């Protein structure tokens, strides 16, 4: 019998499987479809800076732990698999125009300063110096607050996921695709088997990491948690050479420049159930957002669009921990807009918990019964 069955092969499940296997555990991972093709593939890979020594809330501690770990994980994945996940420090500009967005950006900048994250309030001249391509159309609302976070990083999700899959295989994780888990059999306060469309799987411990679908399995176990799929649509542009140097964020929308001239424009936040289609209206809005801020993008080629389903919870925190009243069942889901970012720290705390070690971060705010 394997030590652990991880259910769900997105960035959360794969990261946990890799970490457990590196600790010497025998691990199976099962996915309902192909590995790493859902939210984790669709995301932008933005990694906002955070600093650990001064983080007070467990969520901020988790962010800070993740931010530190990405550098180390990226280097290790490259060494072990030969795949470069695109980890790089671009820095980021944060902009706000409406009164509401200015208020939340100013509050957020204060949190960053409190955590001693490097942050600079920009004058228009300094903004032009850092990111000369930003030139909002005169007809658009003026920029009312602008900050620069030089430490912000990015990874390229599909490459990161490929490297995780290879690292899992090399570490002996058995990866099973196209086998939806339909039920978990319980006996004596424990999970005794996972029932998939292909048959039964048994392990000492079970970890649910099924992203936006997690509510369905948790409900079967008697936990009414609010995991909602929130659609995010994305547009990919291409120019001969990169036009932006930094990641540019405005409210929930952003532009992420890749080295090769590709530019990601994201993302919508839509509550439309498990519908992953793009809509013309949303793509036109994203396109217009980009061109309004960076007029030189008007001539960029539109390459591709896609959508993914973020796993959201009602209070914005993920569900992380052991399931109450079940001795060997765990959950790691509901990371909403930050699953890529939080994935290494999630893997660390979940692997500690599954191995019987007290995690470095207090997980009580993330309990399913909160
Ligand atoms: C447009 C967009 C942009 C984003 N940008 C960022 C970003 O810049 N930075 C960031 O940190 N995050 C970002 N995110 C969020 C991030 O992608 C998610 O938080 C993260 O991918 C969640 O990972 P996951 O492994 O929980 O879910 P998923 O990647 O959705 O994986 C869940 C897996 O579980 C499988 N599964 C479901 N049900 C079952 C079942 N019954 N049996 C077996 N398998 C099952 C699915 O097939 C899937 O492979 C973005 C998301 C979107 C959509």
All residue ranges of the chain with pLDDT < 70 are none
pLDDT at 87: 98
**163: Cβ contacts below 8 Å, ≥ 6 apart:** 77, 78, 81, 83, 84, 85
Domains and CATH numbers, the chain: 2-85+156-227+314-366 (3.50.50.60), 92-150+228-312 (3.30.9.10)
CA-nearest of 193, 168, 136 to 36 is 168
Quote the ligand 1 centre to 347 CA distance (angstroms).
14
pLDDT at 51: 87
pLDDT, tens only, 305-323: 999 999 999 999 999 999 9
Quote the CA–CA distance of 315 and 323 in Å, as a whole number: 18
Closest ligand 1 atom, residue 232 Cα: 1
pLDDT at 53: 79
Q: Is the CB of 45 under 6 A from ligand 1?
A: yes
Q: Is the CB of 255 under 6 A from ligand 1?
A: no
Query: 11-22 and 339-354 are packed helices; what angle lies between their axes, rounded to 10 degrees?
Result: 40
pLDDT at 145: 95
CA-nearest of 264, 251, 252 to 300 is 264
Q: Is the CB of 9 under 6 A from ligand 1?
A: yes
Q: Is the CB of 44 under 6 A from ligand 1?
A: yes
Question: 348: number of CA atoms within 13 Å, CB side?
Answer: 20
Q: Is the CB of 152 under 6 A from ligand 1?
A: no
Residue to mutate, 212, 231, 339, ligand 1, most ligand atoms under 8 Å from C-beta = 339
Q: Is the CB of 308 under 6 A from ligand 1?
A: yes
CA dihedral (211, 213, 218, 223) in degrees, to 10, reads 90
Quote the CA–CA distance of 120 and 126 in Å, as a whole number: 10
Query: SS3 for 285?
Result: helix
Pairing of strands 253-257, 247-250: antiparallel
pLDDT, tens only, 167-226: 999 999 999 999 999 999 999 999 999 999 989 999 999 999 999 999 999 999 999 888
Q: Is the CB of 32 under 6 A from ligand 1?
A: yes
Query: SS3 for 166?
Result: helix
Quote the CA–CA distance of 293 and 289 in Å, as a whole number: 6
Q: Is the CB of 234 under 6 A from ligand 1?
A: yes
Residue to mutate, 8, 90, 212, ligand 1, most ligand atoms under 8 Å from C-beta = 8
Q: Is the CB of 115 under 6 A from ligand 1?
A: no
CA-nearest of 265, 277, 275 to 303 is 265
């Amino acid at each position: 019998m394997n030590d652990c069955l991880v259910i769900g092969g997105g960035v959360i499940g794969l990261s946990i499987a890799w970490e457990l296997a590196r600790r010497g555990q025998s691990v199976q991972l099962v996915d309902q479809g192909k590995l790493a093709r859902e939210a984790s593939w669709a995301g932008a890979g933005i990694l906002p800076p955070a600093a650990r020594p001064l983080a007070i809330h467990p969520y901020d501690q988790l962010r800070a732990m993740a931010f530190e770990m990405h550098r180390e994980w990226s280097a290790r994945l490259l060494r072990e698999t030969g795949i470069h996940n695109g980890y790089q420090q671009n820095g980021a500009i944060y902009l706000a125009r409406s009164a509401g967005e200015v208020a939340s950006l100013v509050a957020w900048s204060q949190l960053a300063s409190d955590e001693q994250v490097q942050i600079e309030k920009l004058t228009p001249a300094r903004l032009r110096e850092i990111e000369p391509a930003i030139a909002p159309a005169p007809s658009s609302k003026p920029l009312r607050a602008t900050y620069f976070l030089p430490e912000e990083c990015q990874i390229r999700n599909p490459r990161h996921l490929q490297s995780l899959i290879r690292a899992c295989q090399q570490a002996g994780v058995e990866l099973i695709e196209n086998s939806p888990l339909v039920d978990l059999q319980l006996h004596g306060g424990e999970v005794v088997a996972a029932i998939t469309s292909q048959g039964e799987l048994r392990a000492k411990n079970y970890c649910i990491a099924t992203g936006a679908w997690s509510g369905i399995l948790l409900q079967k176990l008697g936990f009414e948690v609010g995991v909602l799929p929130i659609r995010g649509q994305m547009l990919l542009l291409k120019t001969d050479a990169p036009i932006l140097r930094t990641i540019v964020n405005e409210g929930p929308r952003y532009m992420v420049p890749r080295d090769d001239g590709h530019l990601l424009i994201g993302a919508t936040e839509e509550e439309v159930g498990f519908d992953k289609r793009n809509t013309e209206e949303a793509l036109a809005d994203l396109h217009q957002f980009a061109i309004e801020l960076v007029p030189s993008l008007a001539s960029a080629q539109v390459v591709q669009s896609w959508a993914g389903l973020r796993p959201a919870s009602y209070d914005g925190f993920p569900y992380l921990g052991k399931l109450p009243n079940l001795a060997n069942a765990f959950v790691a889901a509901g990371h909403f807009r930050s699953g890529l970012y939080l994935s290494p720290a999630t893997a660390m705390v979940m692997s500690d918990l599954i191995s019987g070690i007290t995690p470095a971060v207090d997980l009580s705010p993330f309990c399913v019964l909160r």
